């Protein structure tokens, strides 16, 4: 074992486990990043707070603690799976997660009452607690000022005012976290109406006598039993029958007194919170419309809003092409150089071939799209952080309602632009199981970042240069169209599902629009960083492995004295491609595209690396010439028999449409299986998406031939 330095300052060097909780959008993730820096470990899937995310906090005195970022929650009485996780961890019921010794609760200072509701519940559980009073800047802007010492006095816990986005108050928060060891909060400072209070205490006593429950736990069980539906009490088999009899009598008594049992606890707590706020908060209300409101009148307008949305997206997709061109060139040159180095170092033969034409060609074909992915996330990050994404969600909410989906579904769908996996996991915030399933089923239709390399390769090679109305390039418009096609398909299928086997009443949903703000470079950077590393990780593992495998399949069995092209034809991969060619012929795809379709069932980008490897092997004799790009290989490729080009503008469009709609992603299948607890829905999803992709691609191909786009 390595020797570890333990500084003792009465700490005994104990490594503490701390949980970070807070309402959604209170700035929890920002506080988490400020406390832990890059010392983070994200569960399987980066980019979301739904899964387990841990980081290390270093204190001034050299000691450390582990900080766990929990999903955003409004209360400890879980109603959605997301809140369930937070509650379970806090109560020490989550498997493989230590019981936290301290809770840091992030509260949005501009939304104090709502935050204190959660704080009060944590205090009642008698946890050691520190309140991070975040977004002080926003509160100040809205004319809200909070008297921190008064708040601390009323709650009994340390309160640290902060502006996490500007790293203000981070040192103070760390100090408070380090110094807080025991629960100091005023548990159950709120008052229940007399009769309820009496019954609650009596019941807590009985729970102690019969079931050894103590303190806050006994009180919370008593609360739960008194609030519960009377019918549920009859079915309860956890508690002694005489105790349950008592509960039933209590129900009758309280119902007779006209007390709303289901609301009384919430109302009592809220009244106490209101009185705390009345003492600690002074608000200078400024009447009139704020600038934010005035902007929103236009940005969320029924007509202009959608136009603005499309305009912003148009600029975004165009910029992805123009700005990324230069760094992409660098990456290309880098790989060319590396290829040269390997060629010089390794003697010609199978090994050199494997390294250069298999591994390097495949990985290079995918990694070259890193700059475009970075730009996509940079843009999305800025849009999100400035508050615009919430407006986009607001505009889309109307559309969602039309197809029978909950407004909450838009956020998972939006996340699916990055990757369907966090998108599908984000559906956990949707309470209604039918809405949730409908959203999960259509999430993979949104164009994820793995499709970007496929689109980008084909657009760069086959979409002519030129602009519409002098501003928007054909390339940008084609890319935008692919994203819109995915969105429309998702909405259309959701509508179909919701009006057939997932029929139900669409719930109403009120969306909050946070005020606009200047985006924070730092939080945008974190997102881009997470994406870039996970993209490169996949290129270094799955893509590398697939490329090597494909090289083997495309190089063997060997044919004596054959041209590279005949050799490819003869190989395992070539035979497989020819085998499925009849099935994909109606879509205008030849056997080489067939190899790409099959190999990319693993993951969509593999299509690009497959093309990279295949064309590199096929054009092995062109070695002497200067290296030709994959793009050029594809445009110049001709059928040896007919002399017709393998790829035309129409073929390229058809391949893109196919990739918009088909389910080419094993990880998504795995996540669907996990989230729906079985194979039924993932299999249904693969089925309907494949049929949809095939039918639509076929229609596009036919229409294209008819219009004479085939060329
Ligand atoms: P979470 O949903 O609780 O994890 O919230 P995030 O950390 O994602 O923050 C939501 C938004 O609030 C982001 O755009 C942050 O940049 C922003 N934010 C976080 N802390 C502050 C703050 O102290 N002041 C301001 N003005 N914005 C903040
Ligand atoms: Mg978060």
pLDDT tens digits for range 313-334: 778 777 776 787 788 889 888 9
- Stated pTM of the model: 0.58
Which 3 state secondary structure label does DSSP give 168? Answer: strand
Residue 114 inside a domain? The answer is: yes
- Count up the domains in the chain and report the number: 2
- Whether 6 shows a pLDDT value over 50: the answer reads no
Q: What is the mean pLDDT of residues 88-106?
A: 84
Burial grade of 260 (CB within 10 A; 0-12, 13-18, 19 or more): exposed
Which 3 state secondary structure label does DSSP give 452? Answer: helix
What spacing in Å lies between the alpha carbon of 445 and ligand 1's midpoint? Answer: 29
Task: Give tens-digit pLDDT for 43-88.
Answer: 432 333 345 678 899 988 888 899 998 888 888 876 666 667 778 8
Same domain, 29 and 134: yes
Residue 54 inside a domain? The answer is: yes
Domain boundary among 258, 293, 309: 258
Which 3 state secondary structure label does DSSP give 679? Answer: coil
Which residue would you say has higher pLDDT here, 237 or 6? 237
Which 3 state secondary structure label does DSSP give 399? Answer: helix
Same domain, 119 and 208: no
**Tokens in use for 31?**
């506080």
pLDDT (0 to 100) of residue 355: 86
pLDDT (0 to 100) of residue 620: 65
pLDDT (0 to 100) of residue 493: 94
pLDDT (0 to 100) of residue 379: 82
In CATH, what number is assigned to the domain containing residue 25? 3.40.50.300
Q: Which of 308-322, 627-641, 683-697 has the lowest mean pLDDT?
A: 627-641
User: Per-residue confidence at 170, pLDDT binned at 50, 70, 90?
Assistant: very high
pLDDT (0 to 100) of residue 506: 54
Q: Which of 152-156, 379-383, 384-388, 638-642 has the lowest mean pLDDT?
A: 638-642
Domain boundary among 116, 148, 179: 179
User: Per-residue confidence at 696, pLDDT binned at 50, 70, 90?
Assistant: very high
Count the helices and strands in the chain (H runs, E runs): 32, 11
Q: Which ligand neighbours the alpha carbon of 141 most closely?
A: 1
Q: Which of 81-85, 261-265, 563-567 has the lowest mean pLDDT?
A: 81-85
Q: Which ligand neighbours the alpha carbon of 132 most closely?
A: 1
Phi and psi at 219, nearest 5°, equal -65, -40
**Tokens in use for 276?**
């705390």
Same domain, 209 and 143: no
Q: Which ligand neighbours the alpha carbon of 30 most closely?
A: 1
Q: What is the mean pLDDT of residues 413-430?
A: 75
Same domain, 25 and 165: yes
Same domain, 141 and 199: no
pLDDT (0 to 100) of residue 7: 36
What spacing in Å lies between the alpha carbon of 211 and ligand 2's midpoint? Answer: 38
Q: HSE (CB half, 13 Å, CA atoms) of 280? A: 23
pLDDT (0 to 100) of residue 507: 52
User: Per-residue confidence at 707, pLDDT binned at 50, 70, 90?
Assistant: confident
pLDDT (0 to 100) of residue 2: 37
Which of 30, 40, 134, 519 to mutate to test ligand 1, by most ligand atoms within 8 A of the CB atom?
30
Domain that holds residue 44: 15-179
Same domain, 116 and 201: no
- 3-state SS, one letter per residue, for 33-96: HHHHCCCEEECCCCCCCCCCEEEEEECCCCCEEEEEECCCCCCCCCCCHHHHHHHHHHCCCCCC
Atom 9 in ligand 1: residue holding the nearest Cα: 27
User: Per-residue confidence at 302, pLDDT binned at 50, 70, 90?
Assistant: confident
Question: Count of CB atoms within 10 A of residue 707's CB?
Answer: 9
Residue 52 inside a domain? The answer is: yes
Q: Let me know: does 213 contact 191? Beta carbons within 8 Å.
A: no
Q: What is the mean pLDDT of residues 126-153?
A: 92
Q: List residues near ligand 1 (CB under 6 A).
A: 22, 24-30, 49, 72, 134-135, 137-138, 163-165, 385, 517, 520, 523
User: Per-residue confidence at 656, pLDDT binned at 50, 70, 90?
Assistant: very high
pLDDT (0 to 100) of residue 134: 96
User: Per-residue confidence at 8, pLDDT binned at 50, 70, 90?
Assistant: very low
Residue 465 inside a domain? The answer is: no
What spacing in Å lies between the alpha carbon of 273 and ligand 1's midpoint? Answer: 24
Q: Which of 5-14, 437-446, 536-545, 659-668 has the lowest mean pLDDT?
A: 5-14
CA 138 to ligand 1: nearest atom: 26
Q: Let me know: does 409 contact 502? Beta carbons within 8 Å.
A: no
Same domain, 40 and 169: yes
pLDDT (0 to 100) of residue 710: 59
Same domain, 150 and 247: no
- Average model confidence (pLDDT) for the chain? 82
Residue 142 inside a domain? The answer is: yes
Same domain, 87 and 27: yes
Same domain, 29 and 165: yes
Residue 58 inside a domain? The answer is: yes
pLDDT (0 to 100) of residue 86: 78
Q: Which of 180-184, 311-315, 649-653 has the lowest mean pLDDT?
A: 311-315
What spacing in Å lies between the alpha carbon of 405 and ligand 1's midpoint? Answer: 27
What spacing in Å lies between the alpha carbon of 165 and ligand 1's midpoint? Answer: 6
Q: Which residue has the tokens 């390039």?
A: 473
CA 384 to ligand 1: nearest atom: 14
Atom 12 in ligand 1: residue holding the nearest Cα: 27
Residue 245 inside a domain? The answer is: yes
pLDDT (0 to 100) of residue 13: 46
- Whether 116 shows a pLDDT value over 90: the answer reads yes
Residues near 399 by beta carbon (within 8 Å), at least 6 away in sequence: 491
Same domain, 25 and 172: yes
Q: Which ligand neighbours the alpha carbon of 526 most closely?
A: 1
Residue 118 inside a domain? The answer is: yes
Residues near 486 by beta carbon (within 8 Å), at least 6 away in sequence: 445, 446, 447, 660, 661
Domain boundary among 203, 228, 258: 258
Same domain, 32 and 83: yes
What spacing in Å lies between the alpha carbon of 533 and ligand 2's midpoint? Answer: 19
pLDDT (0 to 100) of residue 78: 61
CA 163 to ligand 1: nearest atom: 23
What is the β-pairing status of strands 102-108 and 129-134? parallel
- CA geometry: angle 595, 601, 605, nearest 5 deg: 85
What is the β-pairing status of strands 16-22 and 40-42? unpaired
What spacing in Å lies between the alpha carbon of 21 and ligand 2's midpoint? Answer: 10
Residues near 633 by beta carbon (within 8 Å), at least 6 away in sequence: 615, 616, 618, 619
Most confident by average pLDDT, 86-100, 366-380, 591-605, 612-626 = 591-605
Atom 11 in ligand 1: residue holding the nearest Cα: 27
């Amino acid at each position: 074992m390595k020797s570890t330095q333990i500084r003792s300052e009465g700490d005994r060097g104990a490594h503490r486990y701390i949980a970070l909780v807070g309402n959604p959008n209170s700035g929890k993730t920002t506080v988490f990043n400020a406390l832990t820096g890059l010392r983070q470990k994200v569960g399987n899937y980066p980019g979301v707070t739904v899964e387990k995310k841990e980081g290390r906090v270093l204190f001034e005195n050299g000691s450390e603690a582990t900080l766990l970022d929990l999903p955003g929650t409004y209360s400890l009485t879980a109603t959605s799976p997301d809140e369930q996780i937070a509650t379970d961890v806090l109560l020490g019921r989550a498997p493989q997660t230590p019981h936290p010794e301290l809770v840091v609760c992030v509260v949005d200072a501009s939304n104090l009452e709502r935050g204190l509701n959660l704080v009060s519940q944590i205090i009642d559980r008698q946890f050691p607690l520190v309140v991070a009073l975040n977004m002080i800047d926003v509160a100040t802007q809205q004319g809200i000022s909070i008297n921190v010492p008064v708040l601390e006095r009323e709650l009994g816990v340390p309160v640290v005012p902060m502006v996490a986005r500007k790293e203000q108050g981070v040192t103070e928060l760390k100090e408070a976290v380090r110094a807080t060891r025991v629960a100091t909060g005023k548990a159950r400072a709120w008052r229940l109406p007399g009769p309820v209070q009496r019954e609650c205490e009596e019941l807590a006593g009985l729970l102690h006598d019969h079931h050894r429950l103590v303190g806050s736990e006994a009180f919370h069980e008593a609360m739960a039993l008194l609030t519960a539906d009377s019918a549920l009490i009859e079915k309860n088999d956890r508690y002694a029958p005489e105790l349950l009899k008592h509960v039933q009598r209590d129900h009758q008594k309280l119902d007779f007194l006209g007390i709303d049992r289901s609301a009384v606890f919430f109302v009592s707590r809220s009244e106490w919170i209101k009185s705390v706020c009345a003492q600690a908060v002074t608000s200078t209300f400024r009447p009139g419309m704020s600038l934010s409101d005035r902007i929103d009148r236009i940005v969320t307008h029924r007509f202009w809003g959608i136009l603005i949305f499309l305009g912003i997206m148009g600029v975004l997709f165009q910029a992805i092409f123009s700005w990324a061109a230069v760094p992409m060139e660098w990456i290309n040159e880098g790989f060319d150089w590396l290829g040269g180095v390997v060629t010089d170092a390794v003697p010609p033969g199978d090994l050199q071939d494997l390294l250069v034409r298999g591994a390097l060609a495949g990985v290079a074909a995918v990694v070259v799209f890193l700059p475009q992915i970075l730009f996509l996330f940079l843009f999305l990050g800025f849009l999100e952080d400035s508050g615009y994404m919430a407006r986009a969600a607001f505009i889309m909410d109307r559309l969602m309602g039309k197809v029978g989906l909950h407004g909450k579904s838009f956020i998972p769908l939006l996340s699916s632009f990055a990757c369907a996996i966090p998108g599908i996991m984000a559906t956990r915030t949707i309470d209604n199981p039918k809405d949730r399933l409908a959203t999960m089923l259509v999430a993979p239709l949104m164009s994820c970042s793995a499709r970007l390399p496929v689109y980008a390769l084909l657009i760069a090679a086959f979409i002519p240069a030129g602009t519409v109305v002098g501003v928007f390039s054909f390339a940008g418009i084609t890319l935008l169209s692919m994203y819109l096609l995915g969105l429309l398909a998702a909405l259309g299928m959701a509508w179909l599902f919701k009006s057939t086997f997932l029929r139900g009443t669409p719930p109403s949903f009120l969306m909050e629009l946070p005020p606009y703000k200047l985006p924070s470079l730092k939080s945008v950077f974190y997102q881009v960083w997470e994406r870039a590393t996970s993209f490169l990780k996949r290129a270094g593992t799955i893509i590398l492995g697939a490329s090597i495998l494909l090289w083997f399949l495309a190089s063997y069995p060997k044919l004596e004295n054959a041209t590279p092209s005949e050799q490819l034809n003869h190989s395992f991969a070539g035979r497989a491609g020819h085998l499925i060619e009849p099935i994909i012929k109606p879509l205008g795809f030849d056997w080489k595209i067939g190899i790409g379709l099959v190999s990319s069932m693993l993951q969509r980008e593999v299509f690009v690396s497959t093309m990279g490897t295949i064309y590199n092997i096929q054009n092995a004799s062109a070695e002497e010439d200067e290296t030709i790009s994959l793009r050029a290989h594809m445009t110049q490729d001709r059928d040896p028999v007919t002399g017709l080009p393998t790829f035309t503008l129409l073929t390229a469009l058809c391949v893109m449409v196919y990739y918009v709609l088909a389910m080419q992603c094993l990880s998504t299948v795995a996540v669907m299986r996990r989230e729906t607890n079985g194979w039924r829905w993932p299999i249904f999803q693969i089925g309907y998406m494949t049929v949809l992709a095939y039918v639509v691609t076929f229609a596009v191909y036919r229409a294209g031939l008819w219009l004479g786009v085939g060329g």
